[in-house]
């Protein structure tokens, strides 16, 4: 088993491949590593540039089409065989020179993941830095995570931690939260160098904010209610059903008093709340059954053991 596996996702980064390959070789000189370049359906010469590196430690993993960063990262992690796995951007904004330091922190501190924090970020303030700070703040407050920079790709994992998660959709921004769902993982954060993009085109657009918010709602559900969805939907259903029942009881009392209630907005509201409450409870039951199928069909446990230590071995 190699000491280190680098997973580098690239999409139309032809001008950055050779400089990045040279930087990786310098930074990891003397280290037993492999560099996995995942080409996410590039339409330029990215593939040819990776092959031109001519390094036996470099592997090109070419995807059939552009699946997105999350799928590309997952493909690289699945292929990686090192004891530690590093995620690295292919646009030269992450500095490979930070990897030895992060690996040392991970090994000496026995951390499951060491995440980079872009201390002096070299991006535009209006379109990148300010939205990122707002997004990180919202995510920290809504999920309870203490991660300072969820947008930094540069991370070092143990093999076990990296292989324990599955990255769907656009959830690469929430990798620490995905790890946390697997149990009480140990995560460290270190400041890393960040550089301005000098060539190639950024794939970031402000429109990604809606995707982040959608994924955030999903992660909040995963974090709080994955193993007990009935507590969410059942609670909403009971509250909604109860309110609807009270309104309908009031309208029934008016009817018994001889008042005309047909077509009243309050009556329609009461009926809709009752129906909505029944639907919430039904969704909760279905989600509960799906959750149990999810765990039992894959022989997953509702708990995670980090390690087992025989105390006699410590003597």
**Looking at residue 139, which CATH number applies to its domain?**
3.90.550.10
- DSSP H or E segment with residue 35: strand 33-39
pTM, to two decimals? 0.74
Residue 45 pLDDT: 93
Q: Is 114 found in the same domain as 73?
A: yes
pLDDT score for 40: 93
Q: What is the pLDDT of residue 207?
A: 57
Do residues 154 and 238 share a domain?
A: no
Structure tokens given for 26: 């310098």
Distance from C-alpha of 27 to C-alpha of 193, rounded to nearest angstrom? 13
What is the rounded CA–CA span in Å between residue 231 and residue 242?
16
* Predicted pLDDT at 199: 73
Any residues with CB less than 8 A from the CB of 58 and at least 6 apart, and which?
21, 34, 35, 37, 50
Contact 291, 226 (CB under 8 A): yes
Query: What pLDDT, on the 0 to 100 scale, is given for residue 178?
Result: 84
Model pLDDT, residue 304: 60
Distance CA 118, CA 120 (A): 6
pLDDT value, residue 138: 77
Concatenating the DSSP letter of every residue in 52-91 gives TT--TTEEEEE-SS---HHHHHHHHHHH--SSEEEEEESS
pLDDT at 218: 79
Same domain, 151 and 65: yes
Residue 229: Cβ within 10 Å count: 20
The answer on 195 and 60 residing in a single domain is: yes
Q: In the numeric block, which tokens belong to residue 36?
A: 């996995």
- Pair 142, 167 in one domain: yes
Q: Are residues 85 and 155 in the same domain?
A: yes
The answer to whether 73 and 174 have CB atoms below 8 angstroms apart is no
How do beta strands 113-118 and 84-89 pair?
A: unpaired
Asked if residue 287 belongs to a domain, the reply is yes
Tokens of 287: 């989600």
The pair of three-digit structure tokens given for residue 241, joined into one six-digit string:
């059903």
Total count of domains within the chain: 2
If you search the block for the tokens 């708990």, which residue do you land on? 303
HSE-CB at 141 with a 13 A cutoff on CA atoms is: 6
Considering the domain architecture, whether residues 215 and 238 belong to the same structural domain is answered as no
The verdict on 60 and 73 lying in the same domain is: yes
Looking at 191, 224, 257, the residue that finishes a domain is 224
Amino acid 145: pLDDT:
76
Q: Where are the alpha helices (DSSP H) in the chain?
A: 14-27, 46-51, 69-79, 99-109, 130-143, 159-163, 175-181, 208-225, 229-256, 265-297
Domain identity same for 43 and 165: yes
Q: Which domain holds residue 117?
A: 4-224
Is residue 308 domain-resident? no
Q: What is the pLDDT along the chain (315 residues), one digit of tens a residue?
A: 789 999 999 999 999 999 999 999 999 999 999 999 999 999 999 999 999 998 899 999 999 999 988 899 999 999 999 999 999 999 899 999 999 999 999 999 999 999 999 887 766 555 566 766 777 777 777 777 778 888 889 999 999 999 988 887 778 888 888 887 766 688 999 999 988 877 766 655 555 666 777 777 877 787 778 788 898 899 999 999 999 999 999 999 998 888 888 888 999 999 999 999 999 999 999 988 888 887 777 776 666 666 677 666 555
**pLDDT at position 128:** 60
């Amino acid at each position: 088993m190699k000491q280190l596996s680098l997973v580098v996702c690239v999409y139309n980064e032809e001008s950055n491949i050779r400089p990045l390959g040279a930087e990786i070789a310098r930074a990891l000189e003397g280290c037993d590593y492999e560099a996995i370049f995942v080409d996410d359906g590039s339409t330029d010469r990215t593939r040819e540039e990776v092959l031109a590196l001519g390094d036996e430690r470099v592997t090109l993993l070419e995807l059939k089409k552009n699946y997105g960063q999350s799928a590309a990262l997952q493909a690289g992690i699945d292929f990686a065989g090192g004891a530690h796995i590093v995620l690295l951007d292919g646009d030269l904004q992450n500095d490979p020179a930070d990897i030895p330091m992060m690996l040392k922190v991970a090994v000496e501190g026995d951390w499951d993941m060491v995440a980079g924090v872009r201390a002096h970020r070299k991006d535009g303030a209006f379109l990148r830095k300010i939205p990122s700070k707002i997004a990180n703040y919202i995510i920290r407050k809504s999920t309870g995570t203490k991660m300072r920079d969820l947008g930094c790709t540069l991370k070092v994992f143990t093999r076990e931690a990296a292989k324990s998660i599955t990255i769907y959709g656009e959830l690469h921004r929430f990798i620490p939260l995905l790890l946390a769902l697997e149990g009480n993982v140990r995560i460290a954060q270190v400041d890393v160098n960040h550089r301005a993009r000098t060539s190639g085109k950024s794939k970031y657009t402000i429109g990604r904010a809606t995707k982040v918010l959608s994924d955030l709602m999903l992660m909040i559900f995963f974090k709080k209610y994955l193993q007990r969805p009935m507590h969410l939907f059942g609670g909403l259903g009971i509250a909604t059903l109860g309110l609807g029942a009270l309104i309908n009881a009031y309208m029934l009392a008016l009817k018994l008093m001889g008042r005309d209630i047909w077509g009243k907005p309050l009556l329609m509201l009461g009926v809709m709340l009752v129906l909505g409450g029944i639907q919430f409870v039904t969704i909760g039951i279905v989600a509960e059954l799906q959750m149990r199928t999810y765990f039992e069909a894959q022989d997953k446990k509702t708990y995670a053991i980090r390690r087992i230590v025989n105390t006699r071995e410590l003597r």
